[in-house]
Amino acid sequence: MAASNGKGDSGPFAGVLVIDLTRVLAGPFCTMLLADLGARVIKIEQPGIGDDSRAFGPFIEGKSVYFNFINRGKESIALDLKHAPDRELLLRMVRRADVVVENFRPGTMEKLGLSYETLAQLNPRLIYASGSGFGQTGPMSRYPAYDTVVQALSGLMSITGYADGPPTRAGASVGDLTAGVYLFGAIASALYARERSGRGARIDVAMLDAMISYLLHGFMEYSTHGTTLGRLGNSHPSIAPFDTYQAADEPFVICAAGQEVYARLCKAIDRPDLIDDPRFAINRDRHQHEHTLRTEIETKLRSHSAAHWVDLLSAAGVPCAKIQTIPEAVEMPQLAARNMIISAGGLKMPGNPLKISGFDDPAERPAAPALDANGSTIRAEFAAESDRA
């Protein structure tokens, strides 16, 4: 593997050199996870412009928070890959690299003379990872895609929202982020396989594929009955009671899956009679009579606040939760205890959810780089490299 990035043994990927040709969200999220776990990530950006997300708000002191959230801990060099000297410098970097990650539209890297076949000849141990909207193969491979496009095409929007409302985009960029996590997992897997085989690999992750793999309940319905779930609001397609329920002041979430938890719920709300009610005897019955069961439960819940019921039900071992705002979620002591709210360059942001024993999980992370912030240092470093294969 490549020389250390100067962080010592700060993560399981210490000593791994990643050349990051990605931009916007899915690819940069993947390479941020690699950087968080110790890899040296050199981000290649377009001169004068950089990653498109540098222009995305919100902004603090003229800097994009969007860009900073997903590019912490990386280095930046501006290269024009259509310019021969810059492309040659990139090839020098590839000779030393462990991983190249790109998320251009399929065909772009080939046009630049940077195909997997070309780079693998320079470095047979190279992991070449491509993320795209629809993958490197298939009739849609060269179509443009963004998160909302993939949410729409995958069917996710068709089952999100309420039955009497329009199809709805999920509240986070799940298409991008899911693909980024899959890309990260594939790279980690390929690095592990390389330790045994000595050979690199070609990775192809599509946002649409990733999103389809998450549609378990919707796909189950289609596979079983050839039908679609439709939009269910907050209810579960096959479990009850499992939804938002109205208390005296506001709705909150109850997830009472299974006989034992259902019985705990009934006892906690002082309705033990519901346990043996034949309409609600087993989950299939409860789901069939879901609206009737909701009326029975909410009649009791409306006597006290959501906070009262969350405390009572949690103590009884019933999964439940207040519906929090983002500020409320961020300030949870649980997240502080898990080091999930960290700082990078003075910005508060989500931490790394991958907790691995034996490695540090610092609460202060390196900031995202300014455009070409490391350009002169990287140019000097790789200009001195030999052309060894």
User: Which whole number is the average pLDDT over 95-101?
Assistant: 98
Query: Alpha-carbon distance 26 to 43, whole Å?
Result: 14
Nearest one of 146, 38, 8 to 99, comparing CA atoms: 38
296: its two tokens? 């029975």
348: its two tokens? 């508060």
Q: Is 236 a catalytic residue?
A: yes
- Strand 63-64 to 341-344 pairing: unpaired
The confidence score (pLDDT) of residue 388 equals 42
The confidence score (pLDDT) of residue 90 equals 97
386 Cβ contact partners less than 8 Å away, ≥ 6 residues apart: none
Specify whether the CB–CB gap between 3 and 28 falls below 8 A. no
Marked catalytic residue, from 217, 225, 236, 291: 236
User: Which whole number is the average pLDDT over 359-383?
Assistant: 95
**What is the domain class of 17-214+339-383 according to CATH?**
alpha beta
C-alpha radius of gyration, the chain, whole number:
25
Q: Where are the domains of the chain?
A: 17-214+339-383, 242-246+251-322
**Other C-beta atoms lying within 10 Å of the C-beta of residue 256:** 25
254: its two tokens? 């109850």
Kindly report the pTM of this predicted structure: 0.92
Using 50, 70 and 90 to split pLDDT, how confident is the model at 4? very low
Q: What is the mean pLDDT of the chain?
A: 94
Burial-class residue 46 by CB neighbours within 10 Å (0-12, 13-18, 19+).
middle
The confidence score (pLDDT) of residue 9 equals 55
**pLDDT tens digit string along 188-206?**
999 999 999 999 999 999 9
User: Which whole number is the average pLDDT over 65-87?
Assistant: 96
User: Which whole number is the average pLDDT over 266-273?
Assistant: 98
Which CATH superfamily does the domain covering 242-246+251-322 fall into? formyl-coa transferase, domain 3 (3.30.1540.10)
